Amino acid sequence: MILYRPKELQYYHYKGSDKTEVYWVHFTGGDVEKILDFYKMPCTENVFYTGTSPDYQYLYRQMIQELQLCRPNFEELLSIHLRQIFILINRYIKEGRKGKSSIINTIERATHYFNEHYNEPINIESFAEENHMSICWFIRNFKDVVKVTPMQYILSLRMSTAQSLLETSQYNIREISETVGYDNPLYFSRLFHKHVGISPTQYRKEALSRQ
């Protein structure tokens, strides 16, 4: 990333042939220096490495969308997104000193992939192989960073989505099962009961009673 502090001359260039994708944010205010110092932003260099987390691109695109739509409180949300970027940078700097930055970036990319494709068939061994990792290394480091195994993480995504659909939609159990990635609604119901503690039908009844 490139960071220019207040009153610094801003100058940089990049080659079109590299097909660089550039995002930039211009921010002002009397507390700029305090905010940058609070998140330990580098003060002796303009260009610094911040890892390859896909969260950066996501947050920049969210900011662009907020600026385009100008919905209520969009300026506050822009500020929150910018602070999220600072937090990611700060986290990378701190964890990078421990020699874990590359591992964390790898796991972050995995969690993003799982969040995007949790309702599709995912073979953890194939995923690791396609991303040039041994299955044992990937599972061990994923659990070390996320505190659950990859399959437990995917199951949690599926079950939390199912809970949301049971609370807010009119989909029947079979439709919800298929939406979150299970062709067999009976198998889905057993997994849901094991994960949540009650059946999908009972969960919907209790959710409706609370509304």
Query: Which of 52-57's residues contact partners 24+ apart within 8 Å by CB, and which partners?
Result: 52/105, 52/109, 53/88, 53/92, 53/105, 53/108, 53/109, 54/108, 54/109, 54/112, 55/84, 55/88, 55/108, 55/112, 56/23, 56/85, 56/88, 57/21, 57/23
pLDDT in tens, 36-68: 999 988 888 888 888 767 788 888 988 998 988
pTM exceeds 0.85 for this model: no
pLDDT in tens, 123-137: 999 999 998 899 999
